[in-house]
Every structure is written in structure tokens, then in C-alpha cells.
Amino acid sequence: MTMGLVLICCLLFIFSFGCGSNQNSTTGEENTADTSNDAKTLKVAMLMSGPISDGGYNASAYQGLMDSKKELGIEVAYSESVPLAEYEAAFRDYAMQGYDIVIGHGFEFQDGALKVAKEFPDVKFLVVSGNQGQEPNMASINLKTEETGYLMGALAGMMTKSNKIGAVGGAPVPPIVAPIEAFKQGARLVNPEVEILDSYIGSWDDVDKAKETAIAMINKGADIVMPIASMAGVGVIKGAQEKGAYALGYSADQNDIAPGTVLSSGILSIPDAIRLTLKDIKDGKFKAGVINYGLKDGVLKIAPYHEAEKLVPKDVQDKMEQIEQDIINGAIQVEFIDQQTSN
């Protein structure tokens, strides 16, 4: 969806997807590739575990791929909603087709990338939200999602009236656990007495289960909930809207899902992270290992308050800006915790 993150560790209609290329559907996969015949053109393929229509984690990866195609002049292809059992085969298939770079979007692709990379030393493998690299040809793009999780926690801690808030994760993997644990840290910075509920639903696309989980939290008194669960996270926001509670978006600006319900969102500018990484590779600057991006790089940010502008007091907005700057300049050190803690 940091799964580091894995996954990564959310999401609906905020991006416009015009790819301007041919698409084919094969066994549940959709591929799009530039038709350029230039043999020197860098060829990049991406694998995603969810749909590009999720309005969040996978949608932003798709946007990053398309932005890179336009700005860097590369040839691209992608497969969405790739089943777990087919990760290795999908990596291998693109490598055998002659792609120079194959990206697994999410921590869940890391094991497959580590294995297949050994078979194709001349192909570069990237994992978004991964936490490992491997010489000579595998690297992870690590978004410091604990920073955005911390900020969203601080906002929830200041805005809660019931003194109880909640977070719903897709799975207890590092890139999801880390921002949720940071959510707890941020909330307690501004509100030491706040009670925090958290739950992992074991799915990235079960919208109904995510909604039920959020409603259960709200019924226990939580008045603000945050999802980090890819497409399933839409259910958390819809549940908050249905129950008259508030939600925080994550991964992308999710205001459009429920304007007036979403107070703000922690944005992971995955498009920027992907584009910057591919540019470095094109410029001959690839290094196996972990590539880190955070608030100070402009890759992570807070979304506007939109319709909630009138709901979030000026002093809270000012405090949020101060906390963000404190993280950037090092005055606040957000602890990276990748194991779920008790509340």
C-alpha cells in the first residue's frame, strides 16, 4: 500500500487516467504499451495487486507510470489486480519480453522481485514500499509513510470530540503498520489521553468489510477514522459518512469520496517517487538498495481541507503546519515501528 512499506499499504475518483495507448486484457490483466520502435527507448513495466480505478494507492502508481512515459519518453506496460500466486510469473514474463525495468507496486511484491531479479541480472527490479535491495539490480522505493501517519494522527487528536479515534489497515505489514503506529504517536503528541482503536482486515479490496470495521469503531465511540487499505479504504470513509463521523484520507487526496466527511488526507506522491526514481535510472544513477523519500523531498504532503476548511479551526491548521515543519527540520523524530503495539 512503508510495507515499507509493503505493499502499501486507499481511494477513489481523483485522478484522470488518459493513457493514449492500446490496451489488451489477458487473464484479468490489462496492459498498455507505447508503440515506439526506437530500440533505445527505456522499457518499463509495472505490476499492481489492485485496480488502477481505486482512486488511491494503485491509481497513483498508474499516474506515476503515465507521467514518466510523457516526461521521460519511456515505453510502458502495466498489469493490474495481479493475483498473489502470479507475482513471480508476472515479473518473469516482463523480463523475458525485454523490459529494462519491472516495478512491483507494493511491499507484497518484494519476495518475488528478490527471487526473479537473480534470474535476470541485466533487468532492474523496483519495489514500491519495499524495505530491501539486492545487488546488482534490485532496489526498493521507500516512502516514509510514518511521517504522514504521524500528521494524520495529530489532526485526529486535535479534532476528536469523543476522545476516541480509529485506524483500519489492510494487512499488518510494515508499510501499513508503520503509519498506523505513527498515527498513534501523532495523536498522543497533541492529546495524551486519546484512545486509539486499530484493526487489520486482511484485505485490500473488501470494501464492505472495511466499512463494517469502521462502523464498529464508530459504534464504540470513535468519531474520526482513517483507512490505510487501498481500495477497501473507501468503505471506511463511506462508513464514516453514513454514521455522521469524520474520516481522514490516506495515500491520495480522498476528499472526493465524501466531501465534508474527509477532514484532510495524508498524500503519498507516489507519482513523484516513481518519476524521480525512473529519471535517475535513465540518467545512469541506479543503485541497488533502499531509496527513501519523505516530507522534505516533497513526495509526502498534507491535502487541503477542502469543504472541511470551516470545520478545522485556524489554530489547529497552524499547529499542523508547525508539526510538519518540525518533522522536516528534525525537531520531531517520528519513530518507525513496524510491529503492531497495544493501545
How much is the pLDDT for 252? 87
Whether the per-residue pLDDT at 246 is higher than 90: the answer is: yes
Amino acid symbol at 210? A
Dihedral in degrees, nearest 10, Cα atoms 203, 208, 210, 216: -140
* Average pLDDT along the chain: 89
How much is the pLDDT for 196? 98
Name the residue ranges covered by the structural domains of the chain: 22-144+270-297, 145-268+300-329
How much is the pLDDT for 343? 72
How much is the pLDDT for 14? 30
User: What are the beta bridge partners of residue 102?
Assistant: 45, 125
Please name the residues in contact with 292: beta carbons below 8 A apart, sequence gap of 6 or more: 142, 144
Lowest mean pLDDT among 209-218, 239-248, 263-272: 263-272
User: What are the beta bridge partners of residue 101?
Assistant: 44, 124
How much is the pLDDT for 281? 97
CA distance 200 to 51: 20
* Other CB atoms within 10 A of residue 283 CB: 9
How much is the pLDDT for 88? 98
**Residues in the chain, how many?**
343
CA distance 206 to 315: 37
Find the farthest-apart pair of alpha carbons in the chain and give their distance in angstroms, rounded.
62
- As given in the structure block, the three cell numbers for residue 264 are 484532510
How much is the pLDDT for 231? 87
Q: What angle do CA 133, 138, 143 make, to 5 degrees?
A: 60
pTM score, whole prediction: 0.77
Residue-wise pLDDT tens digits, 45-64: 999 998 898 777 888 899 99
How much is the pLDDT for 172? 95
3-state DSSP assignment of residue 5: strand
CA distance 266 to 11: 12
* Other CB atoms within 10 A of residue 292 CB: 15
3-state DSSP assignment of residue 188: helix
Q: What angle do CA 281, 126, 249 make, to 5 degrees?
A: 110
How much is the pLDDT for 273? 96
Residue-wise pLDDT tens digits, 115-144: 999 999 999 999 999 999 999 999 999 999
How much is the pLDDT for 335? 95
- As given in the structure block, the three cell numbers for residue 90 are 508476472
Which CATH code of 3.50.50.60, 3.40.50.2300, 3.40.50.300, 3.40.1380.10 fits the domain covering 22-144+270-297? Answer: 3.40.50.2300
CATH topology of domain 145-268+300-329: Rossmann fold (3.40.50)
Contact 270, 64 (CB under 8 A): yes
Which residue, among 231, 215, 212, 234, has the nearest Cα to 223 in the 3D structure?
215
3-state DSSP assignment of residue 227: strand
How much is the pLDDT for 33? 46
CA distance 143 to 81: 22
Whether the per-residue pLDDT at 2 is higher than 60: the answer is: no
Q: How is residue 3 annotated by DSSP?
A: B
CA distance 307 to 305: 6
- Fold agreement (22-144+270-297, 145-268+300-329): yes
